[in-house]
Amino acid sequence: MPATYIKRILDARIYDLAIETPLDEVPLISARCDNKVLLKREDLQPVFSFKIRGAYNKLRLLSDDKKAKGVVAASAGNHAQGLALASQHLGVAATIVMPRTTPQIKVDAVRRRGAKAVLVGDTYDEAAAHANKLVEEKGLTYVHPFDDGDVIAGQGTVGMEILRQYSGDIDAVFVPVGGGGLAAGVAAYIKHVRPETKVIAVEAEDSACLKLAWDKKRRATLSHVGLFAEGVAVAQIGKETYRVLKESVDEVITASTDEMCAAIKDIFEDTRSIAEPAGALSLAGLKKYVAANNWQGKTVVAIDSGANTNFDRLRYISERTEIGEKREAIFAVTIPEKPGAYKKFCQLLGRRAITEFNYRYRDNEQAHIFVGLAVSPDKNDREEILAKLQGAGYEVVDMTDNEMAKLHTRYMVGGKAPEANDECVYRFEFPERPGALLNFLTKLAGRWNISMFHYRNHGSAFGRVLVGMQVPKAERKDLEQLLDDLNYSYWDESKNPAYTFFL
């Protein structure tokens, strides 16, 4: 039962290394949400995330014999840095197995704290397999990033601090979920001490492994895990964490990439600090939840779980923020191909700010334009614009939530290629490493002609590619088999309106 964790959390003497982080009211977010919003600042820990708590608690409880033999973990993120610092503090030899796709800044951070970083494979699973091999060969102790009772108890000190730091009523605490270690510890403590306080788990839409288990009433594995919020990119909820969470969490909700980007901006405006996507996840969920349930005047807490993000990712985050804040709408509009058509279209929009306008000549009859418009998040602007344009006789498709349009099309509007017969279009995510793009092209280009190509890297461990290929219909099954063998995440976008209208 979750109640068994209370004593373990109270006994987690971690404060000779971890710090008690502040619980700050964030006035701008509070005013916007019309609720009192408190932010638990785990981004201020020595390794810029809560992970130091669980890692250190696990290490300090090891026997002297196990400490002498050393520890090992597989991680490309915050757990690696937390374990490295904890090991350095206690004088324990630590080996961190990291995928070769891990950004160099994170590899350097682990080595700087005295741990041995070993780069193996392209995925977490490959790194974990090597870490387990080291356990068998060298007798090292494996320190799991979340599915371990001592780690869960260490993370649970976050919940203990929240209740100690704010003595008034708390209506809900929003906790980010990846593998579930933080959520399990926090939920176990809060629901035991203040059962009237809601504990709401927040997951990224594209890595919602707890929601999958919640719906199926058993643990299951996601077929695809999104990489944007890498701190919560877990395919299956932990066995022990799920046992605790299913008894202590009130609800499970999700937040989109755009909503996380908007939350990153919110945190920056209130604190002048930059959260990583997983760090802003619980605030994104909080904003979504209070709006959907029309909460006003309540006291709610979000946990800013970390700030380990690459600086060059900020470009992508800023691009998506306006949509995440519901301050930009994107439309594909068909207008007549004749003089004065642009002017008439702009006159209909009035003084509304145009954020983007892309056009390529198609034929003598019609023109398709890709247009971004500033909208108000507090009004039904998006719906009103759509109705206004349709009422004026324009054919309009709302692309505000179209991933292909936001990731690729807005940068490559160029018109159709009349000679590109049998063209099909796919969107890919693949691990970013030296030679990855060449390998990708080599495997795809040997049999079918590539008729369109757009690649973007977002300053992280993955790249995004949009590819058009001329593939006869009789050979489409062969193509799908090749794509499956590539083992990259992919989506068929051949019927996406962003393609049919503009490309």
Q: In what order do the strands lie in the sheet with 36-41?
A: 23-25, 36-41, 299-304, 172-176, 198-204, 251-255
Q: Is 305 a catalytic residue?
A: yes
In terms of DSSP bridges, do strands 36-41 and 94-98 run parallel, antiparallel, or are they unpaired?
unpaired
The one catalytic residue among 87, 305, 451, 460: 305
Locate all alpha helices (DSSP H) within 91-238, ordered by sequence: 104-112, 124-138, 149-165, 181-193, 209-216
Q: Please list, residue by residue across 361-389, b when 16 or more beta carbons sit within 10 angstroms of its beta carbon and e when fewer do.
A: eeeeeebbbbbbbebeeeeebbeebbeeb
> Angle, nearest 10°, between helix axes 381-391 and 341-349?
140
Q: Which amino acid is at 328?
A: E
Structure tokens at 293: 């349930």
CB 157 within 8 A of CB 14: yes
Closest CA to 334 of 493, 500, 454, 468: 500
Nearest Cα neighbor of 194 from 160, 236, 219, 158 is 160
- Asked if 155 and 181 touch (Cβ cutoff 8 Å), the reply is yes
Residue of 298, 225, 273, 411 whose CA lies nearest to 30? 298
Given 36, 40, 49, 51, the catalytic residue? 51
Tell me the H-state helices in 166-204: 181-193
Q: Which residues pair with 367 in a beta bridge?
A: 335
Closest CA relative to residue 265, chosen from 192, 190, 319, 221:
319
Q: Give rounded-to-5 percent helix, strand, coil for the chain.
A: 45, 20, 35
In this structure, the number of other CB atoms found within 10 A of the CB of residue 359 comes to 16
288 a catalytic residue: no
Distance (Å, whole) CA 277 – CA 262: 10
Sequence letter at residue 329: A
Q: Is the CB of residue 236 less than 8 Å from the CB of residue 220? A: yes
Q: Catalogue the active-site residues.
A: 51, 305
